Every structure is written in structure tokens, then in C-alpha cells.
Structure 1
Amino acid sequence: MVDTSGSMHGQALDLTKLAVVSLINTLGENDFVAVAQYPGRQVTTDHTAKPHLLRDAVPEESKSNGTCFRSFVQATKRNKDRLFAQINDLSAYGIVNFYEAIDFAYSMFEEFYKAPVNNHGALCNSMIMIFTDGDVSDSMDETRQLIRTWRNRSALLDKIRIFTYSVGQHQNPTEPLLEVACSNRGYFAEIPAMGAVTSQVEVINLNADALRTILIAFMCALRLRHF
């Protein structure tokens, strides 16, 4: 889930694009992936305000919104290249809505799990990864309840881990992002500059073994105690 609200312009969006591409590059053909943006509440009449999967760029004269993947897709080279092009075309606008981003992500997983079983990949790790520079503290009570509701819907949804990334230089509180990640068996990372992208992507290895999972949980506990 990529925050593309208005504050994510310039370096923050560039950092996010690089981090998302780096993460996708760690995937193999047995993995499935989807990339969505949450551009926030509508501030003009010419953009989609709700979270949605990324779209292909199309010639302006076609007057089309483009096409997008309808769900998770296998991480083949062809699909990765198409995602990279979509990511490169992202722009920032709107006012962020963290609650809607979480809700959309879980709904995509539920839809995917209901599809034919041969589309499920290995089902080893199911993860929501959120990139944002925003202050999400105002919606935390509703977000906590939303996550509990989704996790209670099925055993598969309960296994989903949430990783959160705070990108760019900003003064927004990061404690809510840390809480969401560590309360859902994930990890919180800060990416303040280009040099931090590689190291933070390496920390969150999508094929993490049990030892690394224990290490992430320990790091979360330490950071929560710090706050």
C-alpha cells in the first residue's frame, strides 16, 4: 500500500518508489504480489479518491483511466516490469486516509483467498506493507478495531503480517505506525534518505525464517518499550 497523498511529493515519493521496486525484486515466481495506492480523500474532480490497484499509463488523448491488475499476480519478470512502470508513474495528491488503506488491503487478501487454490502460491507468508509519511494517529482507534475485525474473519486473514515504513524527512509521529506493525507480527522501519532503502529492505526479507521472525519480534518489543 503506497501513500500517494499530497505530502508524499518530491523525495518522499521517490524513496517510496525505490523501496517498493527493491522489495518486488526480492520476489520469485512462486510469489504473488499486488501494489495499490491510497491517494486520500478527494480534493479535486479529476482523480480517484479511494484506494485502488495501480494502473497502466495511457496516452492522454485516449481519455482512459488505463488498465490495472485485478488482484494479486504471479511475480514473473513480465508482471514485475509492468508493476515497475506503474510505480514510476505514481504522483502525489489528496489527503491521506490510513483506515481505508488497511481496509482495502485486507479485502484484497480475502478476495484472493477465495479464488481457486492454485492461485494461492505457497501461502508461507502473507504481508501487508504500508509506505507513508503521514500522521495516522487520529484514526488509530478505528484502525485497531478494523484490524481486529478482519483478523477474526478467518484463520488465513489472522495470519497476515503488517509492515510499516515511514518515508522521508518529516515531523509526524511514528509511534502509531510502530504499534500497527508490532501488534501484527510485522516490523516498522524508517527510510529518511536514499541510502537507507537497501538496508531496510534487507531487514524485511520476504522469505524470513523462524530465527529472523523472533529477531523482528524482539526488536519490536524494544522499540515499544522505548516509546
Structure 2
Amino acid sequence: MSWLLNKLHKGLIGTSKNTTTTTSSIIHECFRGELEVVKEIINPDNTTMETCRMPFLMLGLDLPPPPLFKDVMEKNIIPQVALFNLLNKFDGETVTEVVLNLSSVARMRYRITRLPRYLIFHVGRFAKKGFFTEKNPTLVSFPVKNLVLKDNMLKKYDLIANVVHDGKPEEGIYKVFVQRKSNEIWYEMQDLHVGEVLPQVVALSEAYLQIYEQHVLQVPES
């Protein structure tokens, strides 16, 4: 998705070195936000700290590891986590550790400094394990309406699209839930099949990619 958005952006502004067109596009106007990144690099002999601002077109969300054990019925336990908990990654306080090499580790902290009109979340369900791909089955509970991010209480987001993956990593299917804004009816689409569904069904799916649209709250005058 990130590759597609960047490709569309470059195509809209032109790629010629002599072009005089603007460096902005409707892609950046809709989807581009900004993060403050604090990186603490821990080496065996010293520790360095650096802070920078970086743009983003989508935010990657990390799922907790699935449980290793089965329940009393010998079935795999499917855990559940709230979207708000996954978004703690971007509160400026939660530390995400990244292994740089055998002797160095980076402790990353992220804080959203500018929110875009449309927020795209990518849920990291798949991971490469040698020659195989594993899928994390954790269910993510999320609001369909009025998502509020920490430190941005005046901006709320409504879900407008939800891409899900059903089944095993190599054999599953993708389908998308899309809202028709004129009447707020949700539709499920898979290949050529299109059918109307309830919002409750959207919230029970294995979310893989989500798009939220922002609406700004009006502050009453005192």
C-alpha cells in the first residue's frame, strides 16, 4: 500500500529533473502525516540519542505474539486486543526495540505531530519464519465511528474501509468492507461478490488494512 501511494504521488507530480511542478499532490494532501522519532542506539561501549521528524503515509501496528498453548477443548486460543492499545506505539512514551546487529539495539519512541485527513493502519499479521509465512490470528477490536487519538481530542475519525484476510497465510482470501457515505450502509466485496452487511460484522473481522476519515469537531464559543 505504501509503495502504491508513493508511486501515485510521483506520477502526479512528474519525475523529470527539469520539472517546475509542485512537490505536493492529492496523495500527500490526503494521507501524509508526520511523526517525531526519538532513537536511542545502545552499543556495547556507548549510547547515542537522536531525534528527527519523518513523514508517513500509513502507520504500521504491531500485534502481540499469539499464545503458544491450546485451551481445554484442544483448540487454539484466539486472543483479542483493542486498537487503542496498538496505537500506544505512537504516544511518544512507549518504547519499540529494534535489533540493528548482533551488538546494537535501537530503542524507538514515536509521537504523531501532524495527523492527515485520512489515516491508514496496516496491521502486521504476517511474518516470515524461514521458508514459511506465519499468520497472527489476533482479533483487533476497533471503533467504526469516532476514533480519537491521544493528544488529539478535537479530531475524530470514522472508518470508511476495512481490508481483512480470512484463512491460512498461503490459502486464505482477502475481502474488503466499504461504507457508502450517502446512506452509511456497509458492503462486503470479494472478487465479483458484493453484498450488504451490518456494521457489527465489520467490527468482528480480522482487520489487515484500515482507512479512517477525519472530521474536525467544532469547539463551542464561550
Greater relative contact order, per chain length (Cα 8 Å cut-off, separation 6+) = 1
Higher strand share: 2
Larger Rg: 2
Higher helix share: 1
TM-score, normalised with respect to structure 2 = 0.32
TM-score, normalised with respect to structure 1 = 0.32
